[in-house]
Chain A
Amino acid sequence: MNALLARFGRKAKPAKNEESYYTAGQLALIKARFKRKTSGVVAAWILGTLVLMGFFAPFFSPADPTIGGADGEYRRGEPQVVFFWDDQGFSLRPFSYSYEKATSKIDLKALAGGGLDALDALTSSGALSSSSQNKFTVDKTQRRYLQFFVQGWEYSLIDLSVAGLDLDIRWDRHLFGVEQGQIHLMGTDEDGKDIFSRTLHAIWVTISIAIVALVVKLVVSLFVGGVSGYFGGRVDTIMMSITEAVRVIPPIPIYLACAVALSQIDLTPIQRYFAIAVVIGALDFATLGRRLRTHILTERNQDYVLAAQLCGSSTWRIIWRHLIPSFTSYIIVDTLINFPYVILAETSLSFLGLGLTEPVNSLGVLLQKAQDPDIQQNMVWQFFPVLVFVVLIMAFVFVGDALRDAADPYSEKK
C-alpha cells in the first residue's frame, strides 16, 4: 500500500535526476507533470482498466452477450453474489450458489374447485404479474465454485480483418466462469443475456465509435482550421462565418435529423455504427476548427518560426518540423477532453432510439433500457451500465483535466 501511495505521491521529482529532466522531450515532460496530479493518475488507472476490459471484453466476460449466449434458465435474474464464506465455513475459492426457478405454487385444485378465495389469493400473491414470473430460489447448500481461465465460447481476441489484415487470433478461454452453468455477476435481462458481459462489450463499442468520430472530427477541423488559418483573408472570413453559423445551431437535433435519414437507408448494424460515428464527428468541427485556426495564427507569429525562416527553412520544413509538433500535444489533449462529449452524443442518440439499437451492445442502448418502467421497478440491476457509464465519463474528465494542465510544459518560464 505504501509503495502504491508513493507511486501516486509527489515523490517523482526531476531534482533527483536533473540530467534526465534536462534531456526530457515534450512527452516525458507532460508525463512528469501529469504524475504530479494524484486525481489524474488515479483516474488514468481506472480509465485504463475500463478500456482494457472493454477491448478484451470477450476474455473478461463470463458469458456471450449475444442472444446466442443468453441463459434461458435465468431470465430477468438478479445479480448472483460471490461469497468467500457462509454458514458452512470459509473458502479461499469464491463461490456462488445455484439458483432454481421458483415454480409458482398455484393451487390448481382450489382453482379447479372454483374457489373465489383461491383466485383472489393467486392474484394478490402476484404470481401472475410479470415481476414474479421469474422468481428464483437460492439453494444455499449447492455451492458453485468460481473457476479461472475456463473454456467457453470461441471469440476473436484481436481481429484485424476489418483493417484488411489477415490477422484474427481466436481463443476460447475466459478469465472466470463457474462450474455448472453460468455466473451472472450483475444479473440478466429479460432475454437472459448477462448484464455484466453486455456492459463490458458496450464499453468498447462506445469508445470505438468515439474514436472514429474524433478522428473524423479531427480531419474536418484540421481542414477548416488549417485552411482558414493558413490562407487568411477572404477565405478565412467565409470559413469562419460558416463555422459561426454551424456553432449557433444546437447539434443534437441535427444529429437526430441525420440519424433519421440514415435509418431510411438499408444498412447493416456495422455500417450504421460507422455512419453515426462519421456524422457525429463531421458536424462537430466548429469549436476545434476555430481553436486550431487561432493556434495556427499565434504559433505562426512565434519568434522561433521566424528564426527558422531566417535560417533558410522552406515552408514545408517549417510546417513539418515546427508547426505540426507544436499542435500534436494540443490536439491529443483536446481529443481526450472531447471523448466524454462524443460519448454523450452517441448515448443521447441511442437513448432516443435513433443511434444504435438492440441487439447491439452500446452504452447508449443499455442506458435506453433504463427508461423502461418495468426495469425501473423490477430489474434495478439493469442500472449497472449507468454506473459504469458515469465512472467511465468521470475517469475521462479527470484525466482530461489533469492532462490539460500538464499538456503545455512550456507555458511556464523557468
Chain B
Amino acid sequence: MITQFFSNTWLLWILLSIGGLLWWRGRDNQYFHYVFNRYWLALATLLLVSGIVFSLMEVLPGDCAEKYIAYKNTQGETITQADIQAERVRMGLDKSLPERWGRWVMNLTLRGDLGFSCAKRQSVNLALGDRFWMSFMFCIAGLLFAYLIAVPFGILSAFTINKPWKDKNPQHSKVEQWIGTVMLSGQKVLDLLLRIISYLGLALPNFLLALTIILLYVFAGEPMPTGLFSDQWASVPWFGPNGFEMEKLYDFLGHIWLPIFVIGWSATALQLQTVRALVVDESSKLYVDAARARGVDGVALWAGYPVRHSISPLFNSIGFDFQRVFNDLPIVAVVIGLTDSAALLIEALSMTNDQELAAGILFLVALVVISMNFITDVVLAAIDPRVRKSVLGS
C-alpha cells in the first residue's frame, strides 16, 4: 500500500525534498537563497512551458478517441458516433482543456508520466524509451563538436583582429618586416577562411549540408552512410560469439559522424562568431593591457585574461545552444534517416497527429534546456565573482 503510494508519487517527493533542502540552506546563506529562487523559477517556467505545449498540441487534428476507434475499425468492428463519444468520456477527453492539462501536469509531477500515445498505443514514456536519450546524445555530441572546433578557432580568429596585412613597422628591419608580413598574412587568411565558414554555416543550413554530402556519395558511387548502421550490422549484437564486435563499432563510427557533423555544423558557425566577438570584446579591455604591462605574455596572457573572462558568457549559453541544435534535428533526421525522438516528433506531428507524443518530446526538450540554464546559472554564481556580484549583491 505504502510502497504503491510512493511508487506513484516518487517524483513529487524528489522535487519537494530538493526544494526543501535548498530553502533550508538558504535561510541564512545568500547563495543557497539564490539557488532556491532559481529552482522555483525554473519549475514555474516548466509549468508555463507545459501549458504552452499542451494547448498548442490542440491545434493538431483529431483526438485520441477517434484514433482509437479508427484503430478498432481496422480490426473489423463497426462503430458509431456514439461509440466515439463513449470512448471520449472514458478517456476524459470531454473535459475542458485546463482540466486535461491539470491532470497531465499532475501525472507528470507525481511520477514523471508523460501520458498515453494513441497512435503508438502505449505510454509515451515507453514509446520514447531510449530514443530521447539518443537525440540527447546526438545534440550533446554535436555541441561538443561545435565547441571543440569553435572555441580554439574563434580565439585564433579574435587574435587577428585589428591587425594589418602588412608589417610596416619602421622599427623593424627589412627581414623582420618580411617575416612579419608573411605571418600576418597567414593569420589574416585564416581569419577570412573562418569567417567565410561561419557565414556558410548560416547560408548552408543543416539539411542542405546533409543533402550535399549525400550527393557527393552519389557521385562517388558509394553506399550512403545514412542511419546508424549498415544493413548487415544493424541486427548484429554488440557482443557476438567472438567477443566484442569491433567491426560493428567501425561501422557505427562510419555512420555516426554524419549526423554529428551535420548537427554541429551551424552550431559551430554560430559559436565561431560568438567566441570571436566575446574574446575580441574582452581583449580590448584595459585589464589586458595592464596585465601586458606587468610582463604577462604569450599563452599565459591570452588564456589567463581575455579567454578566461569569455568562458562564463559562453558557458551560460549552453542551454539555448542545445535548443537550437535540437531545433534542427528533426529535419536532419528526415534527411539522414535517423530513428531518434526527433524523427518520432516529425512523425507524430505531421503523420500520425499524435498530440501526447509530440507534447511529451517538446516538453522533454524544454526540460533539458531549462535544467541546463538552471545549472549554468547556479554554477556561474558559484565560480564567477562577476556573476556572483550581480546576482547576490556583493
Report A's interface with B, CB cutoff 8 A.
Answer: 241-242, 244-254, 256-261, 264, 340, 344, 347-348, 351-354, 367, 370-371, 373, 376-377, 380, 383, 386, 389-391, 393-394, 397-398, 401
Considering the chains assembled together, what is the distance between the CA atoms of A348 and B132 in angstroms? 22
- Indicate if the CB atoms of B331 and A390 lie closer than 8 Å: no
Residue of A nearest to B329 (CB): A250
Residues of B within 8 A of A367 (CB): 208
Looking at A244, A250, A344, which has the most chain B CB atoms within 10 Å of its CB? A250
Contact of A376 among B214, B320, B330, B349 (CB under 8 A): B214
Q: A254-B56, A261-B59, A348-B205 are in contact. Are A371 and B211 (CB under 8 A)?
A: yes
The reply to whether the CB of B183 lies closer than 8 angstroms to some CB of chain A is: no
- Indicate if the CB atoms of B218 and A377 lie closer than 8 Å: yes
Residue of A nearest to B373 (CB): A248
Residues of A within 8 A of B263 (CB): none
Contact of A251 among B208, B319, B327, B331 (CB under 8 A): B327
Considering the chains assembled together, what is the distance between the CA atoms of A390 and B211 in angstroms? 13
- Indicate if the CB atoms of A348 and B53 lie closer than 8 Å: no
Residues of B within 8 A of A371 (CB): 211, 335
Residues of A within 8 A of B326 (CB): 250
Looking at A244, A249, A264, A390, which has the most chain B CB atoms within 10 Å of its CB? A249
Report B226 CB to chain A, min CB distance, Å: 11
- Indicate if the CB atoms of B203 and A351 lie closer than 8 Å: no
- Indicate if the CB atoms of A253 and B362 lie closer than 8 Å: yes
Contact of A397 among B44, B203, B328 (CB under 8 A): B203
The reply to whether the CB of B65 lies closer than 8 angstroms to some CB of chain A is: no
The reply to whether the CB of B353 lies closer than 8 angstroms to some CB of chain A is: yes
Report A356 CB to chain B, min CB distance, Å: 15
Considering the chains assembled together, what is the distance between the CA atoms of A258 and B320 in angstroms? 22
Residue of A nearest to B322 (CB): A250
Within 8 A of A (CB), among B45-63: 45, 48-49, 52-53, 56-57, 59-61
- Indicate if the CB atoms of A393 and B60 lie closer than 8 Å: no
Q: A383-B215, A393-B203 are in contact. Are A249 and B48 (CB under 8 A)?
A: no
- Indicate if the CB atoms of B45 and A398 lie closer than 8 Å: no
- Indicate if the CB atoms of A261 and B60 lie closer than 8 Å: yes
- Indicate if the CB atoms of B366 and A248 lie closer than 8 Å: yes
- Indicate if the CB atoms of A260 and B61 lie closer than 8 Å: yes
Residues of B within 8 A of A344 (CB): 202, 205
Considering the chains assembled together, what is the distance between the CA atoms of A256 and B348 in angstroms? 10
Considering the chains assembled together, what is the distance between the CA atoms of A245 and B46 in angstroms? 7
Considering the chains assembled together, what is the distance between the CA atoms of A352 and B323 in angstroms? 20
- Indicate if the CB atoms of B349 and A260 lie closer than 8 Å: yes
Report B342 CB to chain A, min CB distance, Å: 9
- Indicate if the CB atoms of B366 and A352 lie closer than 8 Å: no
The reply to whether the CB of B262 lies closer than 8 angstroms to some CB of chain A is: no
- Indicate if the CB atoms of A348 and B207 lie closer than 8 Å: yes
Residues of A within 8 A of B334 (CB): 352
Q: A253-B349, A352-B331 are in contact. Are A394 and B53 (CB under 8 A)?
A: no
Interface size on B, residues (CB 8 A): 47
- Indicate if the CB atoms of A249 and B52 lie closer than 8 Å: yes
- The 24 listed contacts between A and B (C-beta, < 8 Å) are A241-B48, A245-B52, A248-B366, A249-B52, A253-B327, A253-B330, A253-B361, A254-B362, A256-B346, A257-B59, A260-B59, A264-B61, A344-B205, A348-B207, A352-B346, A367-B208, A370-B208, A371-B335, A383-B215, A386-B211, A389-B208, A393-B202, A393-B203, A398-B199
- Indicate if the CB atoms of B59 and A249 lie closer than 8 Å: no
- Indicate if the CB atoms of B49 and A249 lie closer than 8 Å: yes
- Indicate if the CB atoms of A257 and B60 lie closer than 8 Å: yes
Residues of A within 8 A of B199 (CB): 394, 397-398, 401
- Indicate if the CB atoms of A250 and B365 lie closer than 8 Å: yes
Residue of B nearest to A383 (CB): B215
Residues of B within 8 A of A391 (CB): 203
The reply to whether the CB of B155 lies closer than 8 angstroms to some CB of chain A is: no
Considering the chains assembled together, what is the distance between the CA atoms of A391 and B199 in angstroms? 11
Residues of A within 8 A of B52 (CB): 245-246, 249
Considering the chains assembled together, what is the distance between the CA atoms of A393 and B204 in angstroms? 8
Considering the chains assembled together, what is the distance between the CA atoms of A244 and B369 in angstroms? 11
Residues of B within 8 A of A249 (CB): 49, 52-53, 323, 362, 365-366
Residue of B nearest to A242 (CB): B48
Considering the chains assembled together, what is the distance between the CA atoms of A340 and B327 in angstroms? 16
- Indicate if the CB atoms of B331 and A252 lie closer than 8 Å: yes
Residues of B within 8 A of A252 (CB): 327-328, 330-331
For the complex with contacts A253-B361, A344-B205, A351-B331, 9 further pairs of A-B residues with Cβ separation under 8 Å are A241-B45, A250-B326, A252-B327, A253-B345, A257-B60, A260-B61, A386-B208, A386-B211, A394-B203
- Indicate if the CB atoms of B366 and A390 lie closer than 8 Å: no
Considering the chains assembled together, what is the distance between the CA atoms of A280 and B74 in angstroms? 37
Residues of B within 8 A of A242 (CB): 48
Residue of A nearest to B349 (CB): A256
Considering the chains assembled together, what is the distance between the CA atoms of A242 and B324 in angstroms? 19
Considering the chains assembled together, what is the distance between the CA atoms of A394 and B202 in angstroms? 8
- Indicate if the CB atoms of B49 and A245 lie closer than 8 Å: yes
- Indicate if the CB atoms of B49 and A390 lie closer than 8 Å: no
Report A387 CB to chain B, min CB distance, Å: 10
Residue of A nearest to B366 (CB): A248
Considering the chains assembled together, what is the distance between the CA atoms of A303 and B297 in angstroms? 41
Report A17 CB to chain B, min CB distance, Å: 28
- Indicate if the CB atoms of B323 and A248 lie closer than 8 Å: yes
Within 8 A of A (CB), among B18-66: 44-45, 48-49, 52-53, 56-57, 59-61
Residues of A within 8 A of B324 (CB): 250
The reply to whether the CB of B291 lies closer than 8 angstroms to some CB of chain A is: no
Considering the chains assembled together, what is the distance between the CA atoms of A256 and B334 in angstroms? 14
Residues of A within 8 A of B361 (CB): 253
Within 8 A of A (CB), among B286-336: 319-320, 323-324, 326-328, 330-331, 334-335
Residues of B within 8 A of A386 (CB): 208, 211
Residue of B nearest to A250 (CB): B327
Within 8 A of A (CB), among B338-394: 345-346, 349-350, 353, 358, 361-362, 365-366, 369-370, 373
- Indicate if the CB atoms of B48 and A260 lie closer than 8 Å: no
- Indicate if the CB atoms of B370 and A248 lie closer than 8 Å: yes
Considering the chains assembled together, what is the distance between the CA atoms of A367 and B320 in angstroms? 28
Residue of B nearest to A373 (CB): B218
Residue of A nearest to B53 (CB): A249
Considering the chains assembled together, what is the distance between the CA atoms of A407 and B373 in angstroms? 31
The reply to whether the CB of B97 lies closer than 8 angstroms to some CB of chain A is: no
Considering the chains assembled together, what is the distance between the CA atoms of A340 and B204 in angstroms? 11
Considering the chains assembled together, what is the distance between the CA atoms of A354 and B331 in angstroms? 12
The reply to whether the CB of B200 lies closer than 8 angstroms to some CB of chain A is: yes
Looking at B49, B61, B320, B349, which has the most chain A CB atoms within 10 Å of its CB? B349
- Indicate if the CB atoms of B350 and A260 lie closer than 8 Å: yes
Residue of A nearest to B203 (CB): A393
- Indicate if the CB atoms of A247 and B327 lie closer than 8 Å: no
Residues of B within 8 A of A376 (CB): 214-215, 218
- Indicate if the CB atoms of B358 and A253 lie closer than 8 Å: yes
